[in-house]
Amino acid sequence: MRSFLTSALAGLMIFFALASTAIAYPTDQFNQCMLAAKANPSLVGVDESYMEGFCDCALTAILDEGKNDFASANQCAKQTLNKN
């Protein structure tokens, strides 16, 4: 019985560890962000991985954490797009 409880507890810990890193914003929102970023003339020549980082950062802040959209987008742009 003790080994079952230990196994169950270990399984729950792994589940919660993985669940806490899951992306909560909708995939279609990410896709829309990427399309807008690629169509933005000021981002011509910016590596796509930086755009992905920006979209992930901004969507996480705005949709998952409920932060201000304009401030979050600016902060995420500084963090992700200025690396190019």
Q: State yes or no: pLDDT of 56 exceeds 80.
A: yes
Contact of 34 with 55, CB cutoff 8 Å: yes
Chain mean position to CA 20 = 12
* pLDDT value of residue 2: 52
Q: Which class for 55: exposed (0-12), middle (13-18), buried (19 or more C-beta within 10 A)?
A: buried
Q: What is the structure's pLDDT at 83?
A: 64
Alpha carbons within 13 A on the beta-carbon side of 20: 6
Residue carrying structure tokens 């802040």: 61
Tens-digit pLDDT profile for residues 22-49: 568 899 999 999 999 999 998 999 999 9
How many CB atoms sit inside 10 A of residue 26's CB?
11
